[in-house]
Chain A
Amino acid sequence: MVKFLKPNKAVIVLNGRYAGRKAVIVQVLEGGNRDRPYGHCLVAGLAKYPKKVIRKDSAKKTAKKSRVKAFLKVVNFTHLMPTRYTLDVDLKDVVTADALSTRDKKVAACKETKKRLEERFKTGKNRWFFTKLRF
């Protein structure tokens, strides 16, 4: 009886080009709207996970391996698998329905989320989120 599809919930995308990728819910539209008459949400996820960094790597190599590619998507709830993990990265101001309207706004928003996700990865927290799901 607890709603669990809330902002900051880590989910796994199940369908589409990003199937199998981990993402975080940014905004929930429970009842849907006119164009999408079903429950859906805005997610920001990892299109390309950061690679495994080892101690032997030089600083330049570590920087290159820690890069991340982000994606933003509007996803139906049925195409998500919720998990028990959360990721509190503040993406509310960056990822908005407006940001997904035109291509260049989307690219700019993606760049900003990429930056925030990379800083979060570098702190070493939320390690589960940044590891690739093996299947």
Chain B
Amino acid sequence: MAPVKKTKKSTESINNRLALVMKSGKYTLGYKTVLKTLRNSKSKLVIISNNCPPLRKSEIEYYAMLAKIGVHHFNGNNVDLGTACGKYFRVCCLSIIDPGDSDIIKSLPGDQ
């Protein structure tokens, strides 16, 4: 029971941190722009939803490996990630360029 509770709490905090980034930082949503920011290394963190197609997921992870940028696998599908970003559409992957006031970069990439 305890582990389940812990992950629930950390998803809460990820959502909070994401909301802060949406408000105060710079980000891009969507596969094409994520690759673009990875290529010119403007990205600081990449977040991928859990129902992202495996080929696309591997591709983004490979680019991030080359660019030494952290990737976070969001605990939810693209609908949830869109909601977490405060948008009314689905978001499969997003890239954070400038976290603003949020500490999402420091707290997250301990995990893969």
Contacts and interface: CB of A to CB of B under 8 A. Distances in A.
Contacts of B43: 1
B39 A2 contact: no
A21 B66 CA distance: 20
Contact of A3 (B35, B40, B65): B40
A77 interface: yes
B40 A2 contact: no
A11 to B, nearest CB: 11
A82 B63 contact: yes
Contacts of A131: none
A2 B70 CA distance: 12
Contacts, number: 29
Interface of A is mostly: loop
Interface string B26-61: 000000100110011101100000000000000100
Interface string B62-73: 010111110000
Interface residues of A, number: 12
Summarize B's interface: helix, strand, loop or mixed. Answer: helix
Contact of A2 (B32, B44, B67): B67
Contact of B68 (A1, A30, A39, A77): A1
B41 A1 contact: yes
Interface of B: 32, 35-36, 39-41, 43-44, 59, 63, 65-69
Given A1-B41, A3-B41, A78-B35, 16 more contacts: A1-B69, A2-B41, A2-B66, A2-B67, A2-B68, A3-B67, A4-B67, A5-B39, A30-B40, A39-B39, A78-B32, A78-B36, A81-B59, A82-B63, A82-B66, A84-B65
